[in-house]
Structure 1
């Protein structure tokens, strides 16, 4: 699950540009959040562009489907993780609560309120083709900087992929050089065990996860390496079905085109090393990124 610009675990839907909030809709949630258009939906939740009636700000409201697998656990996990995180490249959860059951028979539903990132997720940006090395480096640097703090707090994001990386729009409407990490619904920590044996998205999980081993900080680095490679080439490193993709990475590393240059290949090669212990930490990868001449 990914928010805002929601994606499901295996199906990723481009996030449309936010529309103006409709204040003529149903009664505000918690007496405060007036729901507007749907920004994205999946099997676990629906995300709305909404207006905060107290502050007059636009926000993103994520409403969890009560029938979804692990809905309560995903909600609580996301709230717990964000209590410990304050970083400019992590989309913050600013409020949460419970929508009571109504007279129409709808079950109680949990919700979180996040900053509204006006832009697109990286998946929708890459539909148009590869990014420039300079933009890739800027986005990669943002997420690595966030992971320095995330991993220092003992948290593993566990689902890094283009759809979980949001890119705000610049003044002219083009993607900015900032990227933000979203959706900690399947993140793990010392207090939060994995929700399933494999929680990430098939095309981005690490070789150790494909073998059934628990994800670690090194698994996040591997996934981010694949994302950066996809930005530069415009194609997934391990295409095909979920099973084909997972099997392929247990047999080989991703193909690194020589046209990327020696330093890009060195960085991406070490980030996607087969053995977790051979991968750099987020801080080490950030230092290597700074040495790339763009």
Structure 2
């Protein structure tokens, strides 16, 4: 009997139903709103929009992370908010500039008048109850984590019905923005991801998994410090209640292992390890794994089921065999094939750095 999983339609944004046989064979994918069939067991179907679709229901693709400049010193941010329109939160935080906007909220540069320092304030603008829970989860997770490679938590609260989180203000750019300039050399890539793994190892020690590691959620400051950001999907391992429904996609598919796509509750340490490997693949080659599938759900899901993607060696033959092996192990199709812990993978990268000194 086929298992049914729900996803989001990339045509109209509604729930999409995917049927998978017990042997992991994909049968079909159908949108529950626009009734568009994007995949069946005979192959893929044309994904042209339905003729009766309202254009206003289309998903507007937002850039991942704040849109910052390509260099560490040239930060592109929107102009300052006029003095007359600046809002003040808790009689302490004065909004100065909007730095970015995502699914859950807007991030502002603000001044903490009490402590006389600049901070980043994330305000929830979406009133969806599930997103409110994710937002509250991010505050709880950040409050428990104090690590130099995780964005620092300062405060949280409710302002006129809007939830907000106050974090340390960091200038720089996301790793995704940095990749617009091209791939990163293996030595630098290994060094960078070592910091990410250090942060994840610390989080694991506090029973927290990130569940959404990707280039857009790794920030490089002007001082070349590495910060893991956006812990809104973070899960406390010891909790018995999970905020996501079985099968619902959380995170970004290119960097997610099969078990997380099929059942989001399965996202545990091995899922983060896989995402680190996929991110390392991306920064070494300039392309995400499975990106050759395009952004059509049918091809991507089927490729994930078969673990069929262009290998790192084929994509970039000049890469050292050691780092190729590290990426391939991290991206093992089965969780038991991957590194057991983030620390184990970090030590492998450290060995690579020792053996390939500049």
What are the Cα deviations for residues 184-237 of structure 1, in whole angstroms up to 9, with x where unaligned? 111112225143432111221112112325201100010111111111111111
Distance 2:193 2:65 in 1: 22
Q: Which runs of 5+ in 1 are unaligned?
A: 1-7, 101-107, 171-175
Off by >4 Å, runs of 4+ in structure 1: 8-11, 18-23
Residue in 1 aligned with 2:166?
Answer: 113
Q: Which residue of 1 aligns with 2:93?
A: 33
SS at match of 1:203: helix
Counterpart for residue 201 of structure 1? 252
Aligned length: 274
Q: Paired residue for 2:321? A: 262
The structure whose RCO (Cα within 8 Å, separation 6+) is larger is 1
| Counterpart Cα distance in 2 of 1:67 and 1:22 | 24
State the distance in 2 between where 1:93 and 1:23 align. Answer: 27
Name the counterpart of 1:289. Answer: 349
User: Which structure has the bigger radius of gyration?
Assistant: 2
Instruction: Compute the TM-score of the two structures, normalised by the length of structure 1.
Output: 0.86
The Cα of 1:252 is off from its aligned counterpart by: 2.1
Pair 9,272 (structure 1): closer, same or farther in 2 beyond 3 Å: farther
8 Å contact kept, 1:47–1:63: yes
CA RMSD of aligned residues (A): 2.1
Normalised by the length of structure 2, the TM-score is 0.72
For residues 247 and 153 of structure 1, the distance between their equivalents in structure 2, rounded to whole angstroms, comes to 35
Inter-partner Cα distance in structure 2 for 1:34 and 1:19: 16
**Cα separation, 2, equivalents of 1:110 and 1:86:** 22
Could you tell me how far 1:250 is from its partner in structure 2? Answer: 2.1
Q: Which has the higher strand share?
A: 2
2:301 matches 1:246: yes
The answer to which of 10-19 and 240-249 deviates more is: 10-19
2:197–2:343: 8 Å Cα contact kept in structure 1? yes
Is contact 1:21–1:49 with CA below 8 Å preserved after alignment? Answer: no
User: What's the offset of the Cα at 1:122?
Assistant: 0.7
Aligned pairs for 1:150-189 within 5 A: 150-170=203-223, 176=224, 178-189=225-236
Consecutive unaligned residues of structure 2, counting only runs of 5 or more, are: 1-59, 69-74
